[in-house]
Amino acid sequence: MTRLRTELPGPRSLELAARRSGAVASGVGSTLPLYIESAEDGLLVDVDGNRLIDLGSGIAVTSVGNPAPAVAEAVHEQIDRFSHTCFMITPYEGYVEVCEQLNELAPGDHAKKTALFNSGAEAVENAVKIARHATGRTAVVVFDHAYHGRTNLTMALTSKNMPYKQGFGPFAPEVYRVPMSYPYRDGGLTGPEAAARAIDLVEKQVGADNVACVLIEPIQGEGGFVVPADGFLGALSAWCAEKGALLVADEIQTGFCRTGSWFASDHEGLVPDLVTTAKGIAGGLPLAAVTGRAELMDAVHVGGLGGTYGGNPVACAAALGALRTMREKDLSGAARAIENTVLPRLRALAEKTDLIGDVRGRGAMLAVEFTEPTPDVAGRVAKACHAAGVVVLTCGTYGNVIRLLPPLVIPDDLLAEGLDILEQAILGVTK
Ligand SMILES: Cc1ncc(COP(=O)(O)O)c(C=O)c1O
């Protein structure tokens, strides 16, 4: 059976697009105009019966499958008992259990505590609240190419103007941006050299004593799957420890087995003071967390953290199902196996075309960066993949990166077919 039954978009998707244009604010975009009716591991089935190969996982969310049986079961079981009480009014066990598991899994052997929220941006906002409260300082150091969300504070923390910030200011103050370690584009600085460059700016322009936290994605997501040079994160961490600033790792895109380990920090032995998580945590339900050193998490007065829906019982049940699936199916191992399949293919492809400047990533978070710092080639490659029914996403400050975030449970044949199509799309574009 061929995967595509109609031209894309098919007639039912076109009908829905017409309805959408009358009802949905146009500021909310969609990468593909295909309306989804159901999903399986590695496949999205649209309303016209087209079966799309999913190499995006809804931006690194459905790592455990879509839906993973353990998630679906846990959600059904929970929703039949109760849907909400608000943990700040009358608590329930699922919230506590998720926090216990996150405390266990997050990097470091120290005592940890966790608070739950709804979205990644909300987790980042709360990590900054906690860091400021615990240190009594205000400055937040962030990096070029960083992405931390779309709320007011997280827009300020995010680097790229279009589409995230344009016209939405004024932005929150006390945010200071320094250069990232970006091996492909920073002239081959070593990790420690790149860290020294960032630290020098902070010391001169901000003052070490004013820094509440250094906030960093251990591998940048929206900014282009930038893997910093070895030693960069460690040097930042050592500087933070020496100066009394907190190191906050934003693991919202990299967390939960995505990079071949529970967290990307693990690869470098990085032990952040606070970790933000979301996305892959709950198999598609909205849930996010800040996990950190117990004494920092407990520095905030009672009632200072929370929200109506944060740690909703259905989302917590889903997270427990998702975490069980990650353990039972060894999804970190699955991510490493994906890396072992995909990276050699992408590297071989880079030998065949001078359009590709860099191939990088870890686990099932892999990317191709085109040499030209414009969205042109990546946009055309993505379009060709979409036309062939393969969901790939672009990213990067220059919009010139194709990123792959397949579900960690994707069957081998689907992954191989998706890669064949990506390869043809790249070899088919001309400068
Ligand atoms: C590293 C990182 N931080 C924060 C966010 C914001 O998460 P959310 O979209 O759930 O608010 C994202 C989302 O892409 C992200 O990748």
For the cut 70, the answer to whether the pLDDT of residue 431 exceeds it is no
| Predicted confidence (pLDDT) per residue in 416-427, tens digit | 999 999 999 999
The pick from 59, 147, 152, 277 for probing ligand 1's pocket by mutation, whose C-beta has the most ligand atoms within 8 angstroms, reads 147
Contact in structure between 55 and 405 (CB atoms under 8 Å): yes
Tell me what pLDDT residue 100 has: 99
Q: Which atom of ligand 1 is nearest to the CA of 151?
A: 11
Mean pLDDT over each residue of the chain, to the nearest integer: 97
CA of 154 to the centre of ligand 1 (A): 9
Secondary structure E strands in 164-232:
175-178, 211-216
Element (H, E) at 195: helix 191-205
- Would you mind telling me the total number of residues written for the chain in this entry? 431
Q: What angle do CA 86, 87, 92 make, to 5 degrees?
A: 115
Token pair recorded at residue 33: 């105009």
Q: What angle do CA 66, 69, 71 make, to 5 degrees?
A: 80
CA of 148 to the centre of ligand 1 (A): 5
| 278 Cβ inside 6 Å of ligand 1 | yes
State the average pLDDT over residues 268-288.
98
The pick from 122, 265, 279, 401 for probing ligand 1's pocket by mutation, whose C-beta has the most ligand atoms within 8 angstroms, reads 279
| 126 Cβ inside 6 Å of ligand 1 | no
Tell me what pLDDT residue 1 has: 53
Starting at the earlier edge strand, list the strands of the sheet with 365-370. Answer: 356-362, 365-370, 401-404, 393-395
For the cut 60, the answer to whether the pLDDT of residue 289 exceeds it is yes
The backbone torsions φ and ψ at residue 289, rounded to the nearest 5 degrees and listed phi first, read -150, 155
State the average pLDDT over residues 9-19.
98
For the cut 70, the answer to whether the pLDDT of residue 325 exceeds it is yes
The backbone torsions φ and ψ at residue 250, rounded to the nearest 5 degrees and listed phi first, read -90, 100
Token pair recorded at residue 90: 């009358």
What is the three-class DSSP state of 359?
strand
| Predicted confidence (pLDDT) per residue in 340-379, tens digit | 999 999 999 999 999 999 999 999 999 999 999 999 999 9
What is the three-class DSSP state of 108?
coil
Peptide bond into 67 cis (omega under 30): yes
CA of 147 to the centre of ligand 1 (A): 7
Q: Which atom of ligand 1 is nearest to the CA of 124?
A: 4
Exposed/middle/buried for 178, CB within 10 Å: 0-12, 13-18, 19+? buried
CA of 216 to the centre of ligand 1 (A): 12
Pairing type for strands 43-46 and 51-54 reads antiparallel
Report the alpha-carbon distance of residue 386 to residue 392 in Å, rounded: 7
Element (H, E) at 45: strand 43-46
CA of 70 to the centre of ligand 1 (A): 24
For the cut 60, the answer to whether the pLDDT of residue 12 exceeds it is yes
For the cut 60, the answer to whether the pLDDT of residue 173 exceeds it is yes
Banded pLDDT at 2 (limits 50, 70, 90): confident
| Predicted confidence (pLDDT) per residue in 114-166, tens digit | 999 999 999 999 999 999 999 999 999 999 999 999 999 999 999 999 999 99
| 332 Cβ inside 6 Å of ligand 1 | no
CA of 121 to the centre of ligand 1 (A): 6
Across the strands, what pairs with 370?
A: 356
Exposed/middle/buried for 236, CB within 10 Å: 0-12, 13-18, 19+? buried
Banded pLDDT at 78 (limits 50, 70, 90): very high
For the cut 90, the answer to whether the pLDDT of residue 51 exceeds it is yes
Report the alpha-carbon distance of residue 64 to residue 114 in Å, rounded: 22
Tell me what pLDDT residue 41 has: 87
Pairing type for strands 401-404 and 393-395 reads antiparallel
What is the three-class DSSP state of 21?
helix
| 149 Cβ inside 6 Å of ligand 1 | yes
Pick the closest to residue 150 from 171, 174, 175, 129 (CA basis). Answer: 171
Percent of the chain at pLDDT > 70 equals: 100
Banded pLDDT at 242 (limits 50, 70, 90): very high
Token pair recorded at residue 237: 């961490």
| Predicted confidence (pLDDT) per residue in 204-238, tens digit | 999 999 999 999 999 999 999 999 999 999 999 99
Report the alpha-carbon distance of residue 343 to residue 331 in Å, rounded: 18
Tokens 């470098």 belong to residue: 268
CA of 35 to the centre of ligand 1 (A): 23
Token pair recorded at residue 88: 């700040």
Which residues 6+ apart lie within 8 Å of 31 measured at CB?
56, 382, 386, 391, 393
Pairing type for strands 175-178 and 36-40 reads unpaired
Which residues 6+ apart lie within 8 Å of 257 measured at CB?
63, 280, 326, 331, 332, 334, 335, 363, 408
| 289 Cβ inside 6 Å of ligand 1 | no
| Predicted confidence (pLDDT) per residue in 260-276, tens digit | 999 999 999 999 999 99
Token pair recorded at residue 335: 């991510």
pTM of structure: 0.98
CB atoms within 10 A of CB 161: 13
CA of 201 to the centre of ligand 1 (A): 26
Contact in structure between 254 and 35 (CB atoms under 8 Å): no
Tokens 């109760």 belong to residue: 82
Report the alpha-carbon distance of residue 332 to residue 428 in Å, rounded: 33
Banded pLDDT at 430 (limits 50, 70, 90): confident
Q: Which atom of ligand 1 is nearest to the CA of 250?
A: 1
